[in-house]
Amino acid sequence: MKNSLKSRTLRAKVAFLTVAIGTIPIILVGGLAYFMTNTILRQQLVQQIIQNQQNQTNEAADKLYRFLLERYGDVWAVSKISLFSNPEAFKATSQQDREALLNNVVEAYKVYDSLAIFDLNGRVILKSGEVVSDRQSDRAYFKSAQQSNVPRISLPELAPATNQLSIYVTAPIRDRSTGQITSILRARLPVSVLENLLSIAVADRVHLHVTDSTGRSFININSKSLGENLFQLFPLVKEAYETNQTNSDLLSNIEGYPQRLVSATPLRQSDRMPPLDWMVIVNTDPEVVFAPADKLLQTIAFGIVATLLIITVLAIIVSVLVTEPLIRRITQVVQTLVSTSSEIAATIEQQERTLNQQASSISQSTTSMDELNASSQQSAERAQVAESHAQQVLQLTEGGMKAGREALDGIANQQDIVNILAQQITQLNEQARQIGSISALVSDLANQTNMLALNASVEAVRAGEFGKGFSVVASEIRKLADQSRHSAQKIDTLVNRIQTKLDTTVTLAQEGTQNMRENANIARETVDRFAQVQESIQTITIGSQQIAKTAQQQALAIEQVVQAMTALDRSARETANSITQTRIGSQNLNEAALTLQDIV
């Protein structure tokens, strides 16, 4: 009986000692781990979460800025198209072709629901297929466009034609030759497009807002606070707006709102487009933000409790079993622990080598992406140079067309002069023929006068003494008749020569007129060819603008990829360092297991 009691007492003592030895270190280490995790690690996690949300807010603000910068460039490029800025080109195209160009722009970008051109009184000149109101002259964005040299982006307002909250991007269209504003180009952008753009990077329970300079919210994702003044709701946001700096912190004791993690980033200001007093705000429920930290604490607590239960069960087993079998079992467990720790160490070492190789590959990929980024920037610059050259060629073509029209007008004037000269030569030839007829008449009169004078001389001889005086007169008349006849013959000769020269001149004038007609046709064909060349170059110019814009978008996208690759490279190196530390810890565990094996 005494031996049984002693055995039970020994078992109880062994069990108590085993439980004490197993549980006290676990309680101390587990409590310390829980305390460290709940204090130091949680503080670090809070700072990291706040920084991550601020980075997310910065990325959303940057994405919104880049999108609006692209829309600014779209409207600027369309306002510079020669079809709209050149009155002659505008008149030379049909209304259907002009509206087709606007419809093509809307279809190409798929972000606008309307493109329209208004005169300075707000009346519609051109529009895409949507309904557009004529009453634009009293709208704030219309007045702003009339007083600006560059495009303008309006604050969101309710569009009367669609009854949707929309943003208007406007630009003045200037006459290329005079520089005067002739019309206003307006692009209507629904706010829903911006919401779709920003909602891609936002989780389900994360609230994103975009406000104007008064703090009024006009874009809300995962929130119903449309139209609320977030400056009054979150003083931190107003402070960020006034200092034009990013800000992020935990806010509490807000009336009507629980504790929130709020981050605010003003929209970037640059000289590439007029400033927009907008701000991107992201606020999150701390329960969502700190869920990973709470889950980690729960896991640690569960691990401590589970370990204590296992140690307790082992202590009971020790109190029941004999010391020697227990030692043998402990030895087996230690051997298993040694073997397992060795395998874990080998596996971790293999993972360390793999991660180092991956980190090296990511570093090389980052270098390649940097080179690709530089190449994309050069491509964008070359596309802009090509666009500039196309504009210069278009101006030279317009000069060639102008010179061709002037040459055509000069040929037409010369042709009129040659026609008048041919008519005068024809009239002169007719008058020369009339002179020939008069000369022939004079020659006939001279011959008849000569015959009469001869008859008079004969009669004077017959008359004798009384006819001598008359004979002298008849002789003089005959001399005059001979001189008249000779003069008439000379006139005939001169008239024949003049007629010959005039006939030759008429022939040359007719040939000159024919050459003038051919030259006029050639000049007219040249002007038509210049018009075709101008139309082709205008198409090339639009294409160059699209290429330049696409190249810029690709450059921006590659830059974002480079940033992502850099972040991935940094994360891979940090992971490799963590694996190295884990490997060292597993080696220490293996050595401890070997030491325990030696002790057992």
pLDDT single digits (tens) 507-531: 776 777 777 777 777 777 777 776 7
Q: Beta 114-118 vs 124-127: how paired, if at all? A: antiparallel
pLDDT at 168: 92
Determine how many CB atoms are found less than 10 A away from the CB of residue 174: 17
- What is the set of domains in the chain, with CATH numbers? 325-454+488-600 (1.10.287.950)
Residue range 173-195: mean pLDDT, rounded:
90
Spatial contact of 219 and 209, defined as CB atoms under 8 Å apart: yes
Closest by CA position to 57, among listed 265, 255, 229: 265
Tokens of 176: 């290329």
pLDDT at 216: 86
Average pLDDT over the chain reads 75
Tokens of 87: 């009155």
User: What's CA 406's distance to the chain center, in Å?
Assistant: 39
pLDDT at 253: 41
Which strand (E) or helix (H) includes residue 455?
helix 323-463
Spatial contact of 217 and 280, defined as CB atoms under 8 Å apart: no
Spatial contact of 296 and 37, defined as CB atoms under 8 Å apart: yes
Report how far residue 179's alpha carbon sits from residue 536's, in angstroms, rounded to the nearest whole number.
Answer: 24
pLDDT digits (tens, 9 = 90+) for 99-110: 888 899 889 888
Closest by CA position to 136, among listed 84, 90, 188, 79: 188
C-alpha distance from residue 84 to each of 88, 91, 125, 236, 400 (Å): 9, 10, 11, 47, 20
C-alpha distance from residue 325 to each of 8, 255, 321 (Å): 17, 67, 7
Query: What does the radius of gyration of the chain's CA atoms come to, in whole angstroms?
Result: 52
C-alpha distance from residue 393 to each of 382, 400, 536 (Å): 16, 10, 11
pLDDT digits (tens, 9 = 90+) for 112-163: 988 999 998 888 888 887 667 777 888 888 888 888 888 999 988 888 888 8
pLDDT at 172: 93
pLDDT at 373: 66
pLDDT at 321: 60
State the pLDDT confidence band at 252, using cuts at 50, 70 and 90: very low
pLDDT digits (tens, 9 = 90+) for 70-81: 999 999 999 888
Report how far residue 159's alpha carbon sits from residue 231's, in angstroms, rounded to the nearest whole number.
Answer: 26
Spatial contact of 85 and 79, defined as CB atoms under 8 Å apart: yes
The SS3 call for residue 269 is coil
Provide the percentage of residues in the chain whose pLDDT is more than 70. Answer: 66
pLDDT at 171: 93
- Residue 595 CB-half CA count within 13 A: 6
pLDDT digits (tens, 9 = 90+) for 33-44: 666 666 666 667
pLDDT digits (tens, 9 = 90+) for 408-441: 777 777 777 767 776 777 777 777 777 777 767 7
Mean pLDDT check: name the lowest of 49-63, 414-428, 438-452, 579-593: 579-593
Q: Measured over all CA atoms, what is the biggest interatomic distance in the chain, rounded to whole angstroms? A: 221
pLDDT at 2: 46
pLDDT at 596: 58
Report how far residue 88's alpha carbon sits from residue 538's, in angstroms, rounded to the nearest whole number.
Answer: 14
Mean pLDDT check: name the lowest of 133-142, 485-494, 574-583: 574-583
Report how far residue 112's alpha carbon sits from residue 194's, in angstroms, rounded to the nearest whole number.
Answer: 11
pLDDT at 363: 67
Spatial contact of 565 and 397, defined as CB atoms under 8 Å apart: no
pLDDT at 589: 64
C-alpha distance from residue 312 to each of 9, 17, 37, 336 (Å): 17, 11, 25, 20
Report how far residue 474's alpha carbon sits from residue 480's, in angstroms, rounded to the nearest whole number.
Answer: 10
Q: Beta 157-158 vs 114-118: how paired, if at all? A: unpaired
pTM strictly above 0.75: no
pLDDT digits (tens, 9 = 90+) for 320-378: 565 545 555 655 665 676 676 677 667 767 766 776 676 676 667 667 666 766 766 77
User: DSSP for 74-141?
Assistant: HHHHHHT-HHHH-HHHHHHS-HHHHHHHHHHHHHHHS--SEEEEE-TTS-EEEE-SS---S--TTSHH
Between 5 and 142, name the one with better pLDDT. Answer: 142
Closest by CA position to 391, among listed 530, 545, 171, 529: 545
Between 257 and 242, name the one with better pLDDT. Answer: 242
Tokens of 550: 């696409």
Residue range 553-582: mean pLDDT, rounded:
71
Determine how many CB atoms are found less than 10 A away from the CB of residue 549: 19
Spatial contact of 250 and 261, defined as CB atoms under 8 Å apart: yes
pLDDT at 251 over 70: no
Report how far residue 553's alpha carbon sits from residue 560's, in angstroms, rounded to the nearest whole number.
Answer: 11
pLDDT at 169 over 90: yes
Three-class DSSP labels, 183-236: EEEEEEEEHHHHHHHHHCCCCCCEEEEEECCCCEEEEEECCCCCCCEHHHHCHH
State the pLDDT confidence band at 183, using cuts at 50, 70 and 90: very high
Which residues, other chains included, contact 478 with Cβ-Cβ below 8 Å and sequence gap of 6+? 449, 450, 453, 454, 457
